[in-house]
Amino acid sequence: MTYTKPIKEGTQTVVEVSEDDYTSAMSQWGKALVGYVIGSTPVYTPFLQFLNRLWKPRGEIKLMLKGNGFFVVNFDNEEDLHVVLEGGP
């Protein structure tokens, strides 16, 4: 991705993203969810095992703990993403 300086359009700030940058970002993050855990920060391996038991994905899921309770789950299989989005938690 390349840096694009934001511009003001009235009261809004706008950033134009090139199609190449958009395609690149979507290929990396298009099947990802951001989540939040209330309470203490989870430990990586037990939390990943818990998510795999809870969601029973057909493909692989990649977990990134981001701090302050936030995490990102990137799904290998788009169907798994939709199952989680529609069925929760």
Q: What is the pTM of this model?
A: 0.77
- Please report, for residues 14, 42, 54, 89, the alpha-carbon distance to residue 20 in angstroms, rounded to integers and kept in the order given: 18, 36, 36, 33
Q: What pLDDT score was predicted for residue 70? A: 95
Provide the number of structural domains found in the chain: 2
C-beta separation of 59 from 27 below 8 A: no
DSSP codes, 43-66: PHHHHHHHHHHHH--SS-EEEEEE
Q: What is the three-class DSSP state of 8?
A: strand
Domain shared by 41 and 21, yes or no:
no
Domain enclosing residue 47, as ranges: 31-89
Domain shared by 37 and 58, yes or no:
yes
Domain shared by 20 and 37, yes or no:
no
Domain shared by 55 and 18, yes or no:
no
Q: What is the pLDDT along the chain (89 residues), one digit of tens a residue?
A: 678 889 999 999 999 988 998 899 899 899 999 999 999 889 999 999 999 999 999 999 999 999 899 999 999 999 999 999 999 77
Domain shared by 5 and 36, yes or no:
no
